Structure 1
């Protein structure tokens, strides 16, 4: 199920959370939706899930507007960072509601995940720790089998072992039944191997949308004597630089690099990662790269 967004804006009084956003989320891909706090990611996901109405622009999920569209919303699940469940319910009640609302609900998957995360069906949601509440959100998101599944920081409070178990389970479920998955996270290094596409939002605008592997090929970390680095990088896009005792390290972006040639010149060459790119690109205001 494709998600098509055209010239989408959302304002709150004088504040603009999203500004003229246009994006295409293709069916059956895993997307990393990244950005700093306050960039507009959560607002975008809530509009996509029909929980908010945009101020301007068009959003179509499978060709339909999701807002107040009950049939369509049964094919979209959004698991927020917190407050996903009413406090007076037991876990077994949350599962019953999920089974009633989502037509593709898989009880077998829910049972398996409950066991994986050691969740007791009789526990009330108000007594769940942050980690247990996150685990229950993951259960609902994956067992719903919705065509569009969105996780907004889904693992607050989970320890490293449980987080990595989530990544493994998500990939297993995706390989069995592909769907459009959107992950918004600050733990980028942990989860970036799952991404097929990376979208970076900055100050309510799309800063970058790129295939993950292609994006990494466009970047490089280079170290060497300051004069030699400055000579090589003249005219190239340097998004971060540090200098110490006559040596300089730079992060280059948006070019193709001959690694063998650079090493022959005596430079130290290292691959970069999505986390660094997100951090440093959102410090630059002149980068707009699309497929």
Structure 2
């Protein structure tokens, strides 16, 4: 199994006067773990709902494994969307939920589910609606991992889980994906925690795509420049500055985009260059100064 790929072309989704997604285009490669990152209200859940055929777009197209997922039995049968509490029958014991999933999901692995239940300390005799919020979230994680769907969509499933449970989830997800490769999309705002899982990243902001690339490439796009303020200003001329701090005569600027001669120029000017982590890059890209909309990465900046 290599998983389903997803192609998104000029997708727009409106709810009355609200535009949740505004002509977004990107691709999710089959067989990789993609991070869908964005602040609240960015359009993450709306996109996942369209990809899982829970709703239709207003215009544009989404193709899952080359086909429109809407009322498509083959594609829908290979897609699993898990939200915080999972795709479960709340008033039936967990053991009955596992039986139900095993009957209806051909890729569901009950042994994996039971192992994860034990690891996350969830009593299988309990009903989901009798679990704490954290345990309900953890059961959603069990469903998402054990279903092993060709397209697994995890929408903020970590909500309510404490740190040990979240890290157990990340470890289990990565191990199971390595043993059974498929396409996994992880929607999250806990970027520092999930970064190690991600091969590709899509960043949404207010219904638009700010960046869509492999994680390694995106990590290379941010650069901090520190040193005498006048030298920093000269170095960043004609670059996109997303943050700047000054302390006396020393300044630090965070810029998007790098050049082959950056290190040589920095040494000559007495400047220090530093890397920008994925979470810091996300924060800077989605930072709105007043009413200024965040600007997407240009092709030159994202390469």
Question: What TM-score does the superposition give when structure 1 sets the normalisation length?
Answer: 0.94
Q: Which residue of 2 aligns with 1:67?
A: 70
Cα deviation, 1:78-104, whole Å, max 9, x if unaligned, reads 111346434312111221221122111
SS at match of 2:50: helix
SS at match of 1:270: strand
Q: Which residue of 2 aligns with 1:288?
A: 297
| Superposition map of 1:1-291 within 5 A | 1-82=4-85, 84-256=87-259, 258-259=262-263, 261-263=265-267, 265-283=269-287, 285-289=294-298
Q: What's the CA shift for 1:209? A: 0.7
User: Contact 2:12–2:19 at 8 Å: present in 1 too?
Assistant: yes
SS at match of 2:123: coil
User: Contact 1:263–1:269 at 8 Å: present in 2 too?
Assistant: no
User: Contact 1:218–1:256 at 8 Å: present in 2 too?
Assistant: no
Alpha carbons of structure 1 residues 31 and 226: separation in structure 2 relative to 1, 3 Å: same
**Distance in 1 between the 2:27 and 2:154 partners?**
18
Cα RMSD of the aligned pairs, angstroms, is 1.7
Q: Which runs of 5+ in 2 are unaligned?
A: 288-292
SS at match of 2:129: helix
Q: What's the CA shift for 1:139? A: 0.7
Q: Which runs of 5+ in 1 are unaligned?
A: none
User: Contact 1:221–1:271 at 8 Å: present in 2 too?
Assistant: yes
Q: What's the CA shift for 1:235? A: 0.9
Q: What's the CA shift for 1:141? A: 0.5
User: Contact 1:19–1:205 at 8 Å: present in 2 too?
Assistant: yes
Give the length in aligned residue pairs.
291
Please identify, of 249-258 and 113-122, the stretch whose mean Cα deviation from structure 2 is larger.
Answer: 249-258
